[in-house]
Homo-oligomer: A and B are copies of this chain.
Amino acid sequence: MAPPIATDIQSTIDTEIATFSGGLSVNGVAARRSMAPKMAGGIAAHASSDMFKGPGRGKPKAKRWDHKLNEESKSRKPSSLKGAITYLKNPGVINLGGGLPSSQYFPIEYIDVKVLSALHFTEQETKEPGVVKRIGKYDIEEEKGIYDLHVGLNYGQATGSAQMLRFITEHTEIIHNPPYQDWQCCMNVGSTSSLDLAYRMFVARGECILTEEYTFSTAAETVRPMGVQCVGVKMDEEGLLPSDLDRILSNWDPSAHKNAPKPWLLYTVPSGQNPTGATQSHKRRKEIYLTAQKHDLYILEDEPYFFLQMQPYTGPNAPDVPPPASHEAFIKALVPSLLSMDVDGRVMRLDSFSKVIAPGLRVGWITASEQIIERFVRHSEVCTQNPSGPSQLILFKLLEETWGHSGYLDWLISIRLEYTKRRDNICYACEKYLPQEVASWTPPMAGMFHWIKIDWQRHPSKESKSMPDTEDEIFHASIDRGALISKGSWFRAETDNPGNDMFFRTTFAAAPADKVQEAIKRFGEALRAVFHLEKATNGPGH
């Protein structure tokens, strides 16, 4: 049970949860597009979500964040060269201004990509009924398509191509329908890069940010060299505790944090959190958002595992919960995002294709208010520039031309069911092979990770052996038996504070089911050996 939060926050939650409702429907997309101007997606064409969004009538405008932007971000100026492009609107003007190479010299004539066709979502089935999509060099000119190599292989805009930005904007509206008017999306080269850019907008050397007590180690390793420390917020099985967030902020003492001012940037992974696998409930998210409002926090909502939310866990001896019966039922079954309750525009949400399509594409996107997106774009222009053209073209052929929004939702449902199977498999293995005298866990509701708590105080030498030493002993005992799992301590937000508990992180995303079973069995044997427990009766040693 989560400790109670401040009553001024609690009071508004129940009614707000009840009023959540969806936005754009899949069927609404075609209607909206039919009324929009023709896609103008030429070389490095300007694009903005505003071209593709609903009007957002009745929604408030986002708050301004001038007081939160750091010196670096505030001082970014638009480029003179990019400004000059506006003169190209004059008809007949010949452009000798910009240094774009001629597509005549791109040594690629076409790319064919064979993708899974909708509703045939297993690898084997696809080999036959898959669809081959051609990306030609001059498809636009030859009226064979609206996005081609001539555009995709040249320089692009930091927002990403208009063609893909449209799909992403519509998808964001279908799933999240942000409750303020001036939200926009901007594509990126992956969420890790966007985190680097976001930190460089918001924090400065000597400051602190707030994160979960155990946090995605890369996110912390991104910000620490900037001279910024992570302050860990306590967690339970639903993730970050708003009461602890409130406590930290209400009692902030700079002298206890090397004179850092009270932090105001929160980094959180609400669904299938890395490493704990915890998923914030709808109520928990509301509480976090209201606490953020109370202390004027800005939130980085990092959600790579959002669509790895799974079916409820029923255990090995009960029937599975039937899959979502419709797209509407599927969307309703997802815990709503912080973005979906962000009336202030105080959330930058980071979405990723890495876990649901493929990480090697290096394409994701952020959603935030117009002011924040504009600053983000200014930095991207002089840094990552734009996501890979071939990656964007492949996504376009798959998501836009083959699946559409409807087929993409079908795909996401199938991913949900696949991860449910994988999660069930690792939980069954843990129930079967781990000594429950020392190991405990909560079945994850989302993501790739299973987080196992170890009652290290039951170690026979606990009087003479520190927790880190015992953790290391278990880690190596497991490797010696052929199972590599991650130490929980690697994920501590506060590296100099080991906490009181011991955890190990396992992932069920990659290895085949039988290998996962075998690895968990080996880990169980390692635990029995370290803690001097009886051998398992239900799983023979090797």
Binding site for B on A (CB under 8 A): 71-73, 75-77, 79-81, 84, 87-88, 90, 92-102, 104-116, 121, 123, 126-127, 130, 151-156, 189-190, 192-193, 196, 205, 217-218, 221-222, 224-227, 274, 354-363, 379, 381-391, 394, 398, 411, 415, 418, 448-449, 479, 482-487, 490, 505-511, 515-516, 518-520, 522-523
Quick check: B155 and A359 within 8 Å, CB to CB?
Answer: yes
- Docked pose: A356 CA to B153 CA in angstroms: 12
Report if A509-B102 is in contact (Cβ < 8 Å); known contacts: A94-B518, A482-B94, A483-B94. Answer: yes
Establish whether residues A389 and B108, one from each chain, have CB atoms under 8 Å apart when the complex forms: no
Out of B218, B387, B482, B519, which one reaches A388, CB within 8 Å? B387
> Which of B79, B113, B217, B515 has a CB less than 8 Å from the CB of A79?
B217
Asked if A482 and B75 sit within 8 Å, CB to CB, the answer is: no
Q: Which B residues touch A484, using CB under 8 A?
A: 84, 87-88, 93-97
Nearest-neighbor residue (CB-CB) of A224 within chain B: B75
Please, which residues of chain B bring their CB within 8 A of the CB of A155? 354, 359-360
Contact check, B225 vs A76: say whether CB atoms are below 8 A apart: yes
Q: Which 10 A-B pairs have the closest CB atoms?
A: A360-B389, A388-B388, A153-B358, A94-B519, A153-B360, A80-B490, A112-B112, A390-B390, A107-B116, A96-B506
| Assembly stoichiometry (copies) | 2
- Nearest CB of chain B from residue A451's CB, rounded to whole Å: 12
A-B contact pairs, 15 of them (CB 8 A): A72-B227, A79-B218, A90-B479, A96-B507, A96-B508, A96-B511, A100-B359, A106-B357, A109-B115, A111-B112, A112-B113, A189-B362, A193-B384, A360-B389, A362-B386
Identify 16 new A-B residue pairs, CB closer than 8 A, beyond the known A109-B127, A389-B391: A76-B221, A90-B479, A94-B511, A96-B506, A97-B506, A98-B486, A98-B510, A100-B510, A101-B359, A106-B357, A109-B126, A111-B114, A152-B360, A192-B384, A196-B383, A360-B389
- Interface SS majority for chain A: mixed
Measured CA separation A411–B95 after assembly (Å): 27
The residue that A390 contacts in the complex, of B151, B379, B394, with Cβ under 8 A, is B394
A113 proximity list for chain B (CB < 8 A): 108, 110-112
Q: Which residue of B lies closest to A216 (CB)?
A: B99
**Distance in angstroms between the alpha carbons of A499 and B441 in the assembled complex:** 69
Given contacts A116-B109, A354-B101, contact A362 B383 (CB under 8 A): no
Question: How many whole Å from A5's CB to the nearest CB in chain B?
Answer: 31
Cα distance A482–B90 when bound, in Å?
8
A167 CB to closest chain B CB, in angstroms? 15
A165 to B106, CA, bound (A): 21
- Beyond A383-B193, A482-B94, A510-B95, whether A221 also contacts B109 by CB under 8 A is no
Which residue, of A77, A95, A193, A509, has the highest number of chain B Cβ atoms within 10 A?
Answer: A95
B residues within 8 A CB of A506?
96-97
With both beta carbons as reference points, the residue of chain B lying nearest to A98 in the complex is identified as B507
Q: Separation in Å of the A356 CB from the closest CB of chain B?
A: 8
> Cβ of A505: which chain B residues have Cβ within 8 Å of it?
97
Nearest residue (CB) in B for A411 is B107
**A357 vs chain B, min Cβ distance (A):** 7
A57 vs chain B, min Cβ distance (A): 36
Q: Which residue of B lies closest to A481 (CB)?
A: B93
Residue pair B389, A100 in contact (C-beta under 8 Å): no
User: Which residues of chain B are near A448, meaning CB under 8 Å?
Assistant: 99, 101
Nearest opposing residue in chain B for A476, CB measure: B87
Specify which chain B residues have a CB less than 8 angstroms from the CB of A73 in the assembled complex. Answer: 225
| Contact A357-B107, Cβ < 8 Å, known A385-B190, A522-B94 | yes
